Amino acid sequence: MKLPSPMNMPNAGARRVACALLLLVFAAVPLVQAQQVAVRAETLYPMDGGGDAISDGVVLIEGGQIEAVGPASQVDVPSGYRVMETQVATPGLVDARATVGMTSLANRSGQNDELDLTEAIQPGLRAFDAYNTRGRLVEFVQSLGVTTVNTGHAPGALVSGQTMVAKTEGSLDEAIVDSVAMVAMTLGPQVSGNYDTPGTRSKGMALMRETLLNAERYREQRQNDNEEDDPPRKLRMDVLSEVLAGEVPALITAQRASEIQSAMRLAERFGFDLVLSGAAESYLLADEIAEAGVPVVLHPTMTRTGGETENAAFTTAQTLMEAGVRVAIQSGYEAYVPKTHVVLYEAAVAAGQGGLSRRQALRAVTIDAARILGVADRVGSLEEGKDAALALFDGDPLEYTTHTCGVLIGGEVVSEDCK
C-alpha cells in the first residue's frame, strides 16, 4: 500500500488521518529484535535430560520459540540475529506453587486476593479472575529469572480455589498457559485458624469426604442419558467433577505426616490425581509417596519452621529424590513482607545445605516443576520447538554473589538489568 506524504496533504485533518494510517502499517511490522535472537553462553544448561551442561552453547530464537540449541561449533548464528552473550544461561525458572499476581508486595488492604475468608470450601474461585499481570511481585520474580508460575489461591482453606499456570509477562490472555491448572486444598489446623469450621483434623477430613461424595453423586447424575433428570448446574460441583474425572489435579497442602497420609487416602478412595504441597514431614513417608507415584511441590527450603512446619528439614528434597519422588521447590505463600520467597534462592539452599547436586536443584525449579504442572511440552527446558523462556546469569545461578542479568519470555527480552 502506497500512502501520500502527510506534509503534501491539503489540510491538517487529512494529515492526521495519513499519519494514523502510517502508524498502523508500522505497528503491523514485527520487530526483528523481538523475533530473532541468539543467546551465547559460556555455560548452557538445557535441562533436557540429554546430558550435562554445554560449554560455549548457543540458543537460537525465532518467532517466540526455540529454533536450535547446541555448542557454538555446531549452531551457526544467522545474519541479522541479535546476539546476547552471558556467562550462564538456563531455562526460565518455573515456580510450581505461588500466589504472586494475587498477593500485593506489602500487606495492603484491598490488594490481597489470595484467600477468601467467607467460606472454607470454594472450588469455584478462579485464579485468573483476580490475577494482576502488572503486580509488583510478578515483576520482582520475573527480574530474578522466574518466567512461569503456578499461581492462585493460597493454602489455608479446605478448598481455597483454583490455580493457573501463567507466564510472568504480557496481558492476561498472553500470559495464561493453563487457565485451570489445579484445585488448591489444605488439610490441618491451618484451616481452623481461618474459619469457624472444621475445628479439628477429623472434622476437616469428614467435610472433605462429604464434599467429594456429593461431587461424585453429582457427576454420576450429570452423566445420565436422560437430560431431564440432570441436577441443576452447580459451579463448585462442576469443578470437583473435573477433579474426580482426572482432568484437574488436586493440589493438597499437608505438612504433618498424618495429614499427608490423609491426603493420600482421599486420592486413593476417590481416584483423583494428587500433588502434595508443602509436605514438611514427607521425608518420613518417602517410600510410600514414591510407591503411590505422587509428586511433591516442596515448601520453600528456608520456610519459617514452627507449628505444622516445625519438623521441616533442609534435606527433605534430597530424601524424596533418592526415593524416586518427583520434586519441585516452591515459593509458596509468605504471610509476611515481602510476601514471597524466590525459588532460585530456595534451590540454592537445597543444594548448599540440603545435599542436592547442582543439576538436581536446577531441575527442581525448571523441568521437574514443569512436568508436575503438565506444561513440560512448552517450558522447563531448552529444546527445539519450545517456548523461548531463558534466564541469563553472570555466574553460577546457585551462588549467592551471582546476578540475574537477562530474562527472555516468548523470545522477547523483558529484562536486561543485573539484579
Domain boundaries, the chain: 35-92+386-419, 93-379
Average pLDDT value over all residues in the chain: 91
Measured torsion, CA atoms of residues 125, 129, 132, 133, in degrees rounded to the nearest 10: 120
Cα 321 to chain centroid, rounded? 20
Give the pLDDT confidence score for residue 20 in this predicted structure.
Answer: 45
For residues 366-380, average pLDDT: 98
Secondary structure (DSSP) of 7-23 = GGSSSHHHHHHHHHHHH
Give the pLDDT confidence score for residue 329 in this predicted structure.
Answer: 98
- Just give the CATH number of 35-92+386-419: 2.30.40.10
Give the pLDDT confidence score for residue 225 in this predicted structure.
Answer: 66
| pLDDT above 70 as % of the chain | 91
For residues 108-114, average pLDDT: 82
Least confident among 34-38, 95-99, 227-231, 387-391 = 227-231
pLDDT band at 96 (very low <50, low <70, confident <90, very high): very high
For residues 58-72, average pLDDT: 97
Task: Look at residues 279, 252, 276, 255 and name the one whose alpha carbon lies nearest to residue 158.
Answer: 252
Instruction: Output 280 or 223, whichever has higher pLDDT.
Output: 280
Reported pTM = 0.90
Q: Strand 412-415 to strand 404-409: parallel, antiparallel, or no bridges (unpaired)?
A: antiparallel
- Residue recorded with cell 514427607: 282
Q: What residues contact 134, with CB distance under 8 A and at least 6 apart?
A: none
pLDDT per position as a tens digit, 178-225: 999 999 999 999 999 999 889 899 999 999 999 999 999 999 988 876
Least confident among 87-96, 97-106, 350-359 = 97-106
At the topology level of CATH, where does 93-379 sit?
Answer: TIM Barrel (3.20.20)
